[in-house]
Structures are given as structure tokens and as C-alpha cells.
Amino acid sequence: MTTNTFKTAILLGLLSALLILGGRAIMGPNGLYLGLVLAGIMNFGSYFFSDKIALMSYSARPVTPAENADVYARVAPIVSGLCQRMGLPMPKLWLIPVESPNAFATGRNPQHASVAFTAGILRLMDDRELEGVVAHELGHVLHRDILISSVAAMLAGAITMLASMARWGMIFGGFSRDENDRGGGLADLFMILLAPLAAMLIQMAISRSREYDADAASAKYTGTPYELISGLRKLDTWSKRIPMDASPATAHLFIIKPFTGRSLMNLFSTHPSTADRIARLEAMR
């Protein structure tokens, strides 16, 4: 188990503990069960259909021998070779018709995976840099990061729902249950004010941890970290020069955060800083 995998397990455990303790504190056992059921329903749909939603939202077009054949001729051998090394089935390939350079992988498991490239990244990168990027995205598929992200989103969503219930409960006079089954007003205040923030921070930390592991997978399966290092440097420069109109709901999918400017705090970012990612890759040599 890698350090980042262990860190992810700990963070998921913290989310689960926050949900269990917070749910019991504000509404007793029924509050916990209700929050889990509602979040589970929402994220069941997200898990099975998020790939289609993401691809449709960016007007992605299939890359096959019959459609976008020139892109297929270039990209398919790179992807196929990496899949053989990583023991993965060939994913579906997609082209996003925008000039901002970026790429993402999606799909609920390796058998239903897709890798999408923007037109800009194909123009910007040479084949070795593109191989480093593809290996990163296939690293997400190999590690089943879509599943991990869905679980984290389910737990964080349930916590947010419970916080909303606590807020409305306080507005309308609280919940009619035995004080022994909950923590009282202070627990309600904690759940309303701090629990959703804590859940979001943990969810973002999980996302950043998975990015580091995907970077490591790229270095491992290409045999060198320098392909991805070169690609990340280009992406960091050109994604700011050519910003991408991306939804915050899908920002975590991309290899580099598709927004310009710096976030107020790294804690609230779905991606580690590019400089930190490059430093970690350089240490792998």
C-alpha cells in the first residue's frame, strides 16, 4: 500500500466517522440512516452516469478508425501500448473540440473507461509527453479513482444533507427526540457550521491524493517521470493562456485544474500545485 493510498483510506475513514457521529448527534440513528439513503440515491446515479454526463457536457466526439481517424491513428497506439503494460482493457477514446489543453479519464471501472483529449493538448504535446499524460489518466482507471471519488462524494453529500436538516430543525424548534440520543444544541451548531466545511476539505484532500498516485503510475509505466514533467509544465503554462470553460462539478476529472489564476487556499483545490507535482516526480528519478 502506497503512502497516498493509506492517506486516502484514512481520509475516507474520517468522512465516515464525521457522518456517523454527526448524524447520531443531531437526529439520532434515524438521521444517519436518512442521510445515507439520500446521498446513496444521488451518487448511485452519479456513479453510473457521470461519464456520459461529463462527455456530453464538453461535446466530446468519439475517436475511432471511422470517426476522427487522424486522431485515432496517433493516440490509439499510445493508449494500447500502455494498456498492455498496465493490464487494462482498451478504453473508449474521445475528442473535446476546445483549444485549451487538457485531458481526463472517466468510467465506473476499467471495463467501462473512457479517456478524453482536448484538441489543444493534441496540438501542444509531442508523442512522449502525450504518453505521460495518458499513463496518468490510465493510472486513475487502474486505481479505480472514479469509485473512490464517488464514495467520498456520497459521504460528503450525506454530511451536507444532515447539516441542512439540523439547520431547519433549529429554525422550527429542534427535533423531538431524547437528549440521550443526541448531543444537544452544541452538536447541532457544529453540524451546521463546521461539518460541511470539514467534509469538503477531506473530499478535496482525497482528490489531491489520487492525483499524486496517478502521477506515480505515469512514471512507473512509462519508465520515466520526465514525460509527464514536460507535459505538466506545458499544461501549466498554456491552460492559463487559453482558459477552459469547465464546470466545477467536473474540474477534478482533468489532469490539471481547468481554471486560470490561483485558488485562495490549496486546501480548497481538487489538484495539488503543479510545482509540487513536478517536485515529487523529479524525486522519483
Domain boundaries, the chain: 3-282
Q: How many CB atoms sit inside 10 A of residue 276's CB?
A: 14
Q: Is 5:213 a contact under the CB 8 Å cutoff? A: yes
Cβ-proximal residues to 69 (8 Å cutoff; 6+ apart), any chain: none
**Percentage of residues in the chain with pLDDT exceeding 70?**
70
Residues across the chain: 285
The model carries a pTM of 0.78
Distance CA 263, CA 272 (A): 11
Cell matching residue 14: 474520517
Dihedral of CA 282/233/255/198: which sign? positive
pLDDT per position as a tens digit, 86-100: 999 999 999 999 999
What pLDDT is stored for residue 180 in this prediction? Answer: 47
What pLDDT is stored for residue 250 in this prediction? Answer: 79
What pLDDT is stored for residue 224 in this prediction? Answer: 96
Residue 105 above 60 pLDDT? yes
Residue 140 above 60 pLDDT? yes
∠ Cα 128 76 243 (to 5°): 65
**Percentage of residues in the chain with pLDDT exceeding 90?**
45
Catalytic residues: 137
What pLDDT is stored for residue 179 in this prediction? Answer: 47
Q: How many CB atoms sit inside 10 A of residue 130's CB?
A: 21
Q: Is 192:169 a contact under the CB 8 Å cutoff? A: no
Q: How many CB atoms sit inside 10 A of residue 27's CB?
A: 24
